[in-house]
Structure formats: structure tokens, C-alpha cells
A and B are shown apart, each in its own frame.
Chain A
Amino acid sequence: MRMDEGKIFALIIAMLLVIVIILSLGYVPKARVVPLAVALPTLALALYQILLEFDVLGQKKKDFNDSAKAAEKMETNLKSYRMIFTWILLFIVMLFLIGFFPAIAVFMFLYLKLQGKESWLVSICMPGAALVVVYLAFVFGLHIDFYGGLLGELVLNS
């Protein structure tokens, strides 16, 4: 049996609800009454959803090509997931390491050039324009103090 996003998501929801219920039992009555009143029926629905996702109730129409098609689709999806989640992870790591302004410039440039296959002109000008707008609007206009990044802090402290 192949897993897909729907099955994984339904299982994660059910698992989280079980954890919520177990944790709730350790709280005083006033703190657990509403969470339990919501979590228990939601868990029942999540379990029902799992049965539907895994087709235990036999509601989905069977097709010999179904599993092959699903496998192919999942393979394509996995590639796309890897791509977009790598970009997001890269952006977050850069934000923590080098701070907002360098991270925005580097992320936008790399995304436009490598993922978007944009021209050099667009890949350089857009991050440049974004930095100017962000600086003028948020730092100069709204006085927001952006996070400088761990490396920036290390350099300043050394």
C-alpha cells in the first residue's frame, strides 16, 4: 500500500489529537474540559478520515491503473516538494545565519536565477529594488529593527 499526502496528513492529525488528549488528562479539570470536548470528537472524525483514505470501507472505485498512476504522481510530487521545501529551508537558515537584508538579497537572486531561469538583469535588479523598498519602508519609515543574524552577532562580539 502506497502512502500519499492525504494518508500521511490524516495520520499526523490523528497522532497529534491523541497526544493532545493524553496531555489534557494531566491538567486540572478546568483546563482540560474544553480541549477534551473538542479533541475527542475530532479524533473520532480523524479516525474515520483515515479509514476513508486507506479505503478500508471500500468506497473508492478500484482501477488496475490506479496504483501505477498514484505512484507516478507521488514521484513527481516528491520532486516538487523537495524543490520548494529546500528553497524555504534555505531561506530560513540564511535568515538565522546572515540576517534579513543579506538573506533577502541572496535568496531572491538564487531563486530568480536558478529556479525561475530569469535573465541576469532581472535576477540582480529585483533583489536590489526589494532591498531599497524594504529599507525605505520598514527601517527608515517604520523603524523596525531587523534581526542581524548569528554570523553578524559573532562578528560584532569578536
Chain B
Amino acid sequence: MVEAIIQGFASVLSFSVLPLMLIGVILGLLIGAIPGLGGAFALAVLVPFVYNMEPAQAFAFLLGAHAVIYTGGSITAILLNTPGSGPNAATLFDGFPMAQQGQAGRALGNALAASAVGGVFGAIALALLIPVIRPVVLAFGPPEFFMMAILGISFIALMGEGSLAKGLIAGGLGIIISLVGYDPMTGIIRYNFGSLYLYDGIKLVPLTLGLFAVAEMIHLAMKGGTIAQSTINSSTSGVLEGIKDVFRHWWLVMRCGSLGTLIGAIPGLGGDVACFLAYGHARQTSRQPEKFGKGHFEGVIAPESANNAKEGGGLLPTLGFGIPGSSSMAILLGAFLIIGVKPGPEMLGTNLNLVFVMVATLVFANIIGAIIGLLSAGTLARITNVRASLLVPSVLVLTCIGAFAVESSMGDVVATFILGIVGYVMKIKHYPRAVLLIGFVLGKIAELNLHLSIQIFGPDFFLRPIALVLLIITIITLFSNQIAGFVRARREVKL
């Protein structure tokens, strides 16, 4: 075992592997920063290059790129309100307000350091859990997925700032939008209004780009000026302050890293859920929950540490049983076969050093990705001071390319702009867009798993142990304010 660990780390640091990992990391950061293009896209584009590589080289290259996708995506999320991909969406909620307040450097420091620590956490979890993960993964079925989705949706009640009615309307709309298109349980096409484009439903990329990136550019074009509404603190001290925040709140990083690893390890739940659950958890447990959504650093640290940690988690079922937990992992599984490596339980015996090549790649790629990002953070933060007349056309073009590139669909481009107008109206009339996004991501998961749960386990499916625990956590979440008020009142009475 120790020999395999040393071999794995030595392989990654060798002259034949390290340069390929560095190239992968740089490509991953660039692809991640382009709106809409996520990890699956990066792997699909890079897999053809690995045909003639040795297994260690191929995994260092592919995983190096994939490990830092969300690190790159966090940069545009914070600076331009434009997430690189779905899992970066929760970073928008507090990252962009921080940039508007002139704290772009600090927010970038938060995101990049949290990504690195979360990524390393996920890698260590991969190394430790791979022999014992089977019972954990098998314990999660449709009832647990449903309860996790409901737990995520329950955060809607906590996140609506100002008008609760507007928050709940936005959440409801998000769920309904997620139900548009083909229903896999009944085979019915719902709410497509005769449009062929809507057969597949509305996709996450156009929705996120429209609601946030396009809406923000419309707002900026109308008001003029720059994104940063006050003098920007792009100095090294701002970035350093962001890094310090992460280490001061190491317990939050660990908790969100664990959440990300667990969600990544469960096939079928989807990585987007991890960032929202981590964000909701951070808000629920924070001493300053009222600051969330207005530019609070904990709201950046939580989703970013979960995002990168879930990569280690995602590799657990892929390596352990040969079951890909996400589309990215399915592509990676294809790369395994191209190189001639058979994942599954026997891999832990015959190719253990290769497992540790992956662990080492995740560790080094996350650290190197964060260092590259941090070195350029001060300069990148100045984007928030670029005047609207230059920024608006550039971001609209980039958004349009990102929306098209994922599925080569002009429908996605049109949808992005239409949703951009909706997002703008929501922004100015204070309907929380973040809540709509949470409803959208979790709505479909909740519906599908509700039907599956009833079909497989009957109407009392929520009495399964893990589902019951999740139900109790959901109830506590919903009534957390009342519970806190009750405890406070009791304390005051005692005093």
C-alpha cells in the first residue's frame, strides 16, 4: 500500500507526466472559465489526445484538466456574474455582490483557496474510502435522493430575502420550469407548447447564463459605469485576506468538502446539487446568516470547497465498481477503456499505483490550479472596473458562444437571451434568481425519485433510516428560525 502511494506520487512528479498535468491544468482552467462549458465538455475534447499516452500520463492530463474546471468557473462567476458551469452557480450568490462592493480580490482568494483545499480533501477521501465505499453507495436509493432534493428545496425558505412570497414564487417557478419536456416516468411531453426545442426541456446552461450573465449585462448596459460600485481592492492583501478566511473557517471547508465528496460518490444525484446543499448548509450554520446573498465570504467558500471535493467523490464509484456517477465520469470511463485499464474491484489489486496516480493528480492539480489563479487574481479583479460599453458586448458574445457550444443548438442561444430578460426583471423587482435556480436543479430530481420511491418501496418509503434522518434534518431546517427563537427565549427566561 505504502509502496503504491509512493509510486503514484513519484509518477505524477516525473518528467514524463508532470508537464502533461500542467498542460491539462491550464486547459482546464481556461475551459472552466468559459461560460457554459463544464467538465464533461473538457474531457470529451481532451480524450482524443490520450490514445498514445501511458496510463499515468493520460490520467494526469485528463484529471489535471477536470480537477480545476470549477476553479476556473469560479473566476467568471465572481467577476462577471457568469458561472463557468452549473456547479459554479451557487458561487454567484455572494461572489458577485463581493465584487460589486470592491472585494473581488478577497472573493477570488476565498474561491481559489477553498477550491484547492476542497479538492485535496476530495483526493484524500478517495484514497481512504475506496476500499469501504460500497455499502455507503448502495445505501442510497430513490427515497434518499428524494429526501436530499427536498432538503435542498427547503433551503428556499431560508434564502428568500425581503419578500417571502417572491422567494416562494421564484422557487415554484424553478420547479415548474424543470418539469418542462419529456417525463421519463410516463413518456408524456409536458408544457412544450408545440415547440420541438422544449421536448428536451429547458437546460441548465441557458438558464444559468440567461438569468445571471445576460441579466447582469442588461442591467450594466442600462445603468452604465462599471461592475464594481466602489473602489476595487484587487491588491495582494485582498487576495491574501480571502485565503486567510478559508483557513480561519477550516471547519466549514471540511464539512462542505465532506458533503461534496458524499454527493459526488452517489451515482445519479448530480454535482449541481452539491454546491446548493453546501451553500444552504453554510447559511444555516453561519453566525451571520443575514449577510448571505449580499456578499458574504462564507457563501463563496462553502460551494467552492464542495465543488472541487466532489471530483474525488465522483471517482469512488467509477474506480471502485466501474459505475460512472456523472456524465464526466462516463467519459473518463471511456478513456479507461481506450488506455486498456479495466476499472472495478480488481483495479484496487492489480492497478493500485494507478489509483494513487489519480489521487496525486487531484492533489497537485488543485494546488497548482489555485496558485495559477491566485497569481492572476489581482489582475483579473480589475475586470470589474472595465466600463460597461466595453464589457457588455464582450460578455454577451462570450455568453452566446458558451450557450451554443455545449450542444451546438441555436435554440439554446435564443433561450439564453429570453431567460436573460426574465432574469433582469427578476433582478430589478427583487425576485431571488438563486431560489429559482435551486428549484430548477432539484425539482426534476425530486419528482422522478418520488415516483420511483413510491413504486419500489410504497408510500412509507421515507421511513427508511437514511431517508428518515434526512426528513428530520429538513424539518429542522424549515423551522430553524423558530427553534432558535424558542431556545433564545428559554435562555432569557432562565437569566
Interface of A toward B, CB cutoff 8 Å? 5-6, 9, 13, 17, 20, 23-24, 27-28, 30-31, 34-35, 38-39, 41-42, 45-46, 48-49, 52, 80-81, 83-85, 87-88, 91-92, 95-96, 100, 104, 107-108, 111-112, 115-118, 122, 126, 130, 134, 137-138, 142-147
* Known pairs A95-B410, A115-B389, A126-B390; A5 contacts B176 (CB<8 A): no
Q: Which of B172, B426, B428 contacts A38 (CB 8 A)?
A: B172
B interface residues, how many (CB within 8 angstroms):
54
Does B191 belong to the interface (CB within 8 Å)?
yes
CB distance from A23 to the nearest CB of B (A): 6
Contact assessment for B176 and A42 in the assembled complex, using a CB-CB cutoff below 8 Å = yes
Question: Nearest CB to that of B397 among chain A residues?
Answer: A104
Question: Nearest CB to that of B217 among chain A residues?
Answer: A84
Residues of chain B contacted by A81 (CB below 8 angstroms)? 222
**Stretch binding the partner chain, chosen from B102-110, B181-189, B266-274, B367-375:** B181-189
Q: For residues 158 through 185 of chain B, which have their beta carbon under 8 Å from a beta carbon of chain A? A: 163, 165-166, 168-169, 172-173, 175-176, 179, 183, 185
* Known pairs A9-B425, A49-B165, A144-B405; A92 contacts B397 (CB<8 A): no
Question: Nearest CB to that of A117 among chain B residues?
Answer: B389
Residues of chain A contacted by B176 (CB below 8 angstroms)? 17, 20, 35, 38-39, 42
**How would residues 441 to 483 of chain B score, 1 for a CB under 8 Å from any chain A CB and 0 otherwise?**
0010011001100000000000000000000000000000000
Does B211 belong to the interface (CB within 8 Å)?
no
**How would residues 196 to 207 of chain B score, 1 for a CB under 8 Å from any chain A CB and 0 otherwise?**
000000000000
Residues of chain B contacted by A85 (CB below 8 angstroms)? 421
Contact assessment for B169 and A45 in the assembled complex, using a CB-CB cutoff below 8 Å = yes
Contact assessment for B389 and A116 in the assembled complex, using a CB-CB cutoff below 8 Å = yes
Main secondary structure of the interface of A (DSSP, over half): helix
Does B404 belong to the interface (CB within 8 Å)?
yes
Main secondary structure of the interface of B (DSSP, over half): helix
Contact assessment for B172 and A41 in the assembled complex, using a CB-CB cutoff below 8 Å = yes
Contact assessment for A27 and B222 in the assembled complex, using a CB-CB cutoff below 8 Å = no
Residues of chain A contacted by B168 (CB below 8 angstroms)? 41-42, 45
Residues of chain B contacted by A95 (CB below 8 angstroms)? 400, 410, 413
Residues of chain A contacted by B191 (CB below 8 angstroms)? 20, 23
* Known pairs A84-B218, A100-B401, A145-B408; A34 contacts B179 (CB<8 A): yes
A17 to B370, CA, bound (A): 45
Residues of chain A contacted by B188 (CB below 8 angstroms)? 27-28, 31
CB distance from A94 to the nearest CB of B (A): 11
Question: Nearest CB to that of B387 among chain A residues?
Answer: A116
Contact assessment for B397 and A5 in the assembled complex, using a CB-CB cutoff below 8 Å = no
Residues of chain A contacted by B165 (CB below 8 angstroms)? 45, 48-49, 52
CB distance from B61 to the nearest CB of A (A): 15
A107 to B399, CA, bound (A): 14
A143 to B188, CA, bound (A): 35
The A-B contact count (CB < 8 A) is 136
Residues of chain B contacted by A147 (CB below 8 angstroms)? 404, 408, 410
Q: Which of B183, B389, B404 contacts A100 (CB 8 A)?
A: B404
Q: Which of A28, A39, A91, A104 contacts B172 (CB 8 A)?
A: A39
Does B484 belong to the interface (CB within 8 Å)?
no
Contact assessment for A31 and B396 in the assembled complex, using a CB-CB cutoff below 8 Å = no
Contact assessment for B172 and A42 in the assembled complex, using a CB-CB cutoff below 8 Å = yes
A–B complex contacts, Cβ < 8 Å, 20 sampled = A13-B169, A20-B176, A31-B185, A31-B186, A45-B169, A46-B169, A49-B165, A80-B222, A84-B218, A84-B221, A88-B417, A91-B417, A92-B413, A92-B417, A95-B400, A100-B404, A112-B390, A126-B390, A137-B34, A144-B404
Q: For residues 382 through 432 of chain B, which have their beta carbon under 8 Å from a beta carbon of chain A? A: 387-390, 392-394, 396-397, 400-401, 404-405, 408, 410, 413-414, 417, 420-421, 425-426, 428-429, 431
10 tightest A-B contacts by CB?
Answer: A116-B389, A42-B172, A111-B393, A34-B447, A31-B186, A80-B222, A31-B188, A108-B393, A6-B429, A38-B175
* Known pairs A92-B413, A126-B394; A34 contacts B425 (CB<8 A): no
Question: Nearest CB to that of B455 among chain A residues?
Answer: A30
